[in-house]
Chain A
């Protein structure tokens, strides 16, 4: 009579099971979103997120049909300005010109139609300012 331990079989089946679930998810529903900086966005269209710093003027109202309009540029280094129209719930209170944000939506014809804005927590673990 065999006295082989079922441990290996269990581990192998478990790993196979996890892999199957993982692959299934990625095949069925595993879409990821490009997360770009304003300088990378030009070649793209469709659903994406942009990480950038808010550029004024900030005009309009997020709740209106015309939306809240502002620009985004690279947080560090130079870049062109991506124009954004945001419609939806009020943007977070920390949203203002100069703030680092993550804006998500659909990008086409040089404009980002946004439906979500995340402002970054303005504190903690920032790099030291460079000395002159």
Chain B
């Protein structure tokens, strides 16, 4: 079996190299048959990678411990779903997943566009071949998932905290996002290499970018929810380098998704879009370098591994390639029109882009800071949470405001009077909400109050737009179906508003208290009274469970339990928190019971009350809905696309 997997990977490597070399020769010499052959090599690389992936999946499900990878990441008692999730639980398996998704996405994107965009796709194939060559090479020569050994009786198992349904879905979602950014990058590079730098590559890859962006965004929210319910520290995002590694390309891709609209409509920002698409791709690979090299200190334990230097080399080479291409094609990337006014939708989108990129770059600076200080000062220094929170507020709050203004402001040039007329209702609503919040005591946190006021403004602009559009078309469904992209975008904006309200509420207005309790003793927080009753040990076949039982009165009546699990295999503990959600208030009562002393009955209880935290998770679902609406096939857009691409077929 392992030989089959190894052979399949070698074939994938050979085919990827062929797609790169033959594809480039075919594109330069305009040889159609050779280009078709390179294309077929890319398709077949997906098939052979699929075989390799199937071999590893079967070995994981069958607990074939002669595979070193299987023995290192699973054991016999691991349920099948978690045994399969070990596919991406380790270095080699996750790289194989990367290659599988890359060749799969690449084959599909090339197959769909090969007729309409023949000249451009001729260059996309070697670019995708080049990226696939790198990953296939690493899998064959540096980190093979098919190394074998004498099979031990049992494997090492999977860490208990990773035995969670979120961990089955969260990593592959991120990979579908990271790898998906390769497609718009390959088409952008293809556009520059072929000299076809008009808007066709953007139109062809809009949905690919949206898909990657959706997976990356939703994958991060899944990870945040996992941290919240499973890791048990009461938070959901720690600004850890590994978390930032996913956030940075998502921010760059968000900027790209907005700025391509300006290029599509006005023929502007061509260079900027090339820079953004390259930045999003490079940040996704750079994030992988960070997580695999061990060069930065993270709560995620990543050992220094040789794979890091290969990724660094790839980031450097592909970045130089991107910069050289953009510089080479600068004459072809001139804007068709000029920005006429600083008060226009184009300008609003430009402000939004600058803020998003500024946020991504300040996060990058924070992540790189320990490496740079070690390099230049000989001593690694770390920047903490206040740095990131400061820049999230500095750039995030103006972004929130722009999210309301951008869609309402006129194209080309808006007059101040027109803008006032358009924004009078949303502004009035926001000011009223702000005043009510101030009156009710929300002024204890200025950033929180500003975030809520801006959120009210954005929601009001969305409502105004939808009501106005529905009146004009006669029905909401007709309105949405006429411009799914626009109204899908509004739904995503509503999701971001929910996210902002959830983050502001759960961070700026949360309260917490820690206390040592003995049975019968009560602690109070934010209208809740928690009385510690006793210690119990619920049955669990795989772990010894210890729980402190607390009766809650006050704003909610019931029982809540928290404590720890001592797993048998692997012998690891895990903290088990108690969470009671009040859906009416969107608030969580979050209880962490530590150091449960079975002999004396003493327990240390930390209680957190987190207002509106559940809006963050609801935002994830709204975000998915908005993305689905924007992605849904649109006959009107299809007609526009065919008209736009017509010259390419001539």
- Cβ contact within 8 Å between B606 and A10: no
Contact mask A28-60 → B, CB, 8 Å, 1/0?
A: 011011111000100000000101000000000
- Cβ contact within 8 Å between A14 and B573: no
Please tell me which stretch of A78-86, A105-113, A114-122 contacts chain B, meaning at least 4 of its Cβ atoms lie within 8 angstroms of it: A114-122
CB distance from A34 to the nearest CB of B (A): 5
Give the docked Cα–Cα distance between A19 and B564 (Å): 47
CB distance from B177 to the nearest CB of A (A): 18
Chain B residues near A92: list those with CB within 8 A.
233, 575
CB distance from B171 to the nearest CB of A (A): 9
Is the C-beta of A1 less than 8 angstroms from some C-beta in chain B?
Answer: no
- Cβ contact within 8 Å between B387 and A30: yes
- Cβ contact within 8 Å between B604 and A90: yes
A25-B387, A34-B379, A121-B161 known; A10-B299 Cβ under 8 A? no
Chain B residues near A14: list those with CB within 8 A.
351, 354, 358
- Cβ contact within 8 Å between A121 and B390: no
Residue from the list A3, A36, A127 in contact with B379, Cβ < 8 A: A36
- Cβ contact within 8 Å between B159 and A123: yes
Give the docked Cα–Cα distance between A122 and B300 (Å): 8
Give the docked Cα–Cα distance between A89 and B441 (Å): 30
A49-B382, A127-B304 known; A90-B390 Cβ under 8 A? no
Chain B residues near A119: list those with CB within 8 A.
299
A10-B342, A93-B573, A125-B302 known; A102-B354 Cβ under 8 A? no
Q: How many residues of A contact B (CB 8 A)?
A: 43
Give the docked Cα–Cα distance between A21 and B305 (Å): 37
Residue in chain A with minimal CB distance to B514? A89
CB distance from B500 to the nearest CB of A (A): 20
Known pairs A49-B382, A93-B574, A124-B300 / 16 extra A-B pairs, C-beta < 8 Å = A10-B347, A14-B358, A15-B354, A30-B383, A30-B387, A32-B369, A32-B383, A36-B380, A63-B516, A120-B298, A121-B300, A122-B159, A124-B90, A124-B91, A125-B303, A125-B305
- A-B residue pairs in contact (CB < 8 Å), sample of 21: A5-B338, A6-B339, A7-B268, A7-B338, A10-B354, A14-B351, A14-B354, A14-B358, A32-B369, A32-B382, A35-B381, A89-B594, A121-B300, A124-B90, A124-B302, A126-B91, A126-B301, A127-B304, A127-B305, A127-B306, A128-B68
A residues with a Cβ closer than 8 A to B are: 3, 5-7, 9-11, 14-15, 18, 21-22, 25, 29-30, 32-36, 40, 49, 51, 61, 63, 89-90, 92-94, 100, 102, 118-128
